[in-house]
Chain A
Amino acid sequence: MFQILVVEDDKDLNRTVCSFLNNNGYKAVGCLGASEAYDAMYGNTFDLIVSDIMMPGIDGYEFAKTVRSLNEDIPILFMTARDDFASKQKGYRIGIDDYMVKPIDLDGLLLRIGALLRRAKIATSHKLEIGKLRLDIDERTAVYNGEEIPLTAREFNIIYKLLSYPGKTFTRTQLMDEFWDAETNTAPRAVDVYMTKLRGKFESCDEFELKTVHGLGYKAVVK
């Protein structure tokens, strides 16, 4: 069972978030401040941290910075009332993984925690498995039903990205920026070509589908 640390100074909010997570298959531990959280982390290993920013004493930024310096991989999710860009930016620079603005939607929190944990697992194991499909980041290989699907490096990177965030649509420019050199003058439409190729190569694979979203971008939908 995944263990989640909830750091939030408001007692009621802390209690509701913890009991909601506990009711949904996680084991949540609530702390009312950063120092209490350090104590809790001393004896336990957590899989994910949910933290507030504005807390008396040590604030969320300070806390996240300390945690990051000790553990590079643990997902940190900020849950805060601050919705300005500067606060978000500061958080992401410190190395948090996700940011939610209060009042938070508990169902949304659950979805994000699920996605964060899945990505953390992929990040630590360097492997992605969906049904009979296995992607190995170290070897850059895709194996479906015991048979290897030949992919170029860029094809592999794109499919790996889309499958790491199932259901999330990426625009062509977002994919271009990540997988093409900044110098190339390829038009964003080049992405379309790759999508056609990928669809052809994964034709036999029933586990997921590459969908075009209204000319805006692409997403992988896991069935």
Chain B
Amino acid sequence: MSEENSMRRRKRLLAAIRRYVVFFLLIAFVITCCMLLFLYTMQTSVEISFTEKGIRTAAILTMGNVLFLSFLCTVIDAVRRRFMVERPVRRIIKGAEKLMCGDFSARIEPLRGIVGEDGFDNIIDCFNRMAEELSGVETLRTDFIANVSHELKTPLSVMQNYGTMLQNPNLPDEQRMEYAKAITEQSRRLADLITNILKLNRLENQQIYPAAKRYNLGEQLAECLLNFESTWEKKNIDIDTDLEEEVFVESDNELLSLVWSNLFSNALKFTEPGGTVCVTLKTEGDYAAVRVADTGCGISPGTGKHIFEKFYQGDTSHATQGNGLGLALVKRVVDIVGGDISVESEVGKGSTFTVRIRRAANGEVQKDS
């Protein structure tokens, strides 16, 4: 620490000497020029002659003068620096150090009055905004961790409880079955959650995305939708499809299938038995628009703002199945492929999600095999 301090002091001393030398050279140059000009004019116009002794005294005097003036300038400059540069710099450094130590509430007071230079004010302004962003991210992160632990621990504790209860040798068969089923159910929920967390994590850290491929979007939608055949048969939900043929997109089909599966599974999840889920694919100019509409419970406008956030669930009791990561995944993928997602919803009537993706140039009918 002391070594660092002495080093800093030496550096400052060196800087001061350098500044002094600069001032000296500057003033010496100016005065020499003035003197030469003055003397030359005097000599030609008034014809005064100088004795050698007189010149020497004058030269020594001038030299002393130059040295003194340089010193004065250095001191004045140092004082100016202290007030106009070092003070704001120190203030900024103090704020940055606080932030470095993890105090995200650190803010720098803007400089007041005349001493402030524009540059510093700009830096301070930027710093404060950066600190604000960081504290926002930090809040999200802590919220995320809180949410993850809640979502992970709930099914775990349910499983643990049922496991304990199952150890009771006098348990009637009926209850044994019920408990075992609950454990299976919860472990499935946990598995889904972990799969989604891992997927999201992979998407957020992935920098290079696989090369896009041209493929038939309608076909992908049909195949994705068919994966849910058993679900809609079980819930007796009517499926209405209107898929325009030969709509091609150039994108990563594996990533996009994540979007469709999540939207379909949500639509089927929130639609009551006897309801309808409608899937349409239409071209709109250069874009392919996919709409997934359901006749479910709908989303209130307040909720709508947050549905793409991680762990946000419209139903805050977390009662409905799901873990609040599906739409965050969807949003992330849509961002990656450069698409756009929007939602329209009316409480009690249902919701419609619309995803728009740029179409591939519609060339000749191309068959992928």
A residues whose Cβ falls under 8 Å from a Cβ of B: 83, 85, 101, 103, 105, 169, 171, 173-174, 176-177, 182, 185, 187-188, 213-217
Contacts and interface: CB of A to CB of B under 8 A. Distances in A.
Given A101-B195, A171-B222, A215-B243, 9 more contacts: A83-B195, A85-B254, A103-B191, A105-B188, A171-B219, A171-B223, A174-B219, A177-B368, A216-B222
A62 to B, nearest CB: 25
Nearest to B232: A214
Given A105-B188, A182-B369, A188-B245, A216 B226 contact: yes
Given A103-B187, A171-B223, A187-B245, A213 B229 contact: yes
A185 B365 contact: yes
Interface of B: 187-188, 191, 195, 199, 216, 219, 222-223, 225-226, 229, 239-241, 243, 245, 254, 365, 367-369
A38 to B, nearest CB: 31
Contacts of A176: 367
Contacts of B241: 214-216
A214 B216 contact: no
A171 B195 CA distance: 28
Nearest to B187: A103
Contacts of B225: 216
Contacts of B369: 177, 182
Contact of A182 (B195, B239, B245, B367): B367
Interface of A is mostly: loop
Contacts of B243: 215
A17 to B, nearest CB: 15
Nearest to A171: B222
A217 B226 CA distance: 9
A173 B219 contact: yes
Nearest to A89: B254
A221 to B, nearest CB: 11
Contacts of B216: 173
A83 B198 CA distance: 10
A176 B366 CA distance: 13
A176 B246 CA distance: 14
B187 A169 contact: no
22 contacts: A83-B195, A85-B254, A101-B195, A103-B187, A103-B191, A105-B188, A171-B223, A171-B226, A173-B222, A174-B223, A177-B367, A177-B369, A182-B369, A187-B245, A213-B226, A214-B239, A214-B240, A215-B241, A215-B243, A216-B222, A216-B241, A217-B222
A182 B226 CA distance: 24
A45 B226 CA distance: 36
Contacts of B229: 169, 213
B233 to A, nearest CB: 10
Contacts of B368: 177
Contacts of B239: 214, 216
Contacts of A182: 367, 369
A83 B222 CA distance: 22
Interface centre among A83, A171, A187, A188 (most CB of B within 10 A): A171
A126 to B, nearest CB: 25
Nearest to A102: B191
B267 to A, nearest CB: 14
Candidate in B216, B226, B241, B254 with the most chain A CB atoms within 10 angstroms: B226
Contacts of A217: 222, 226
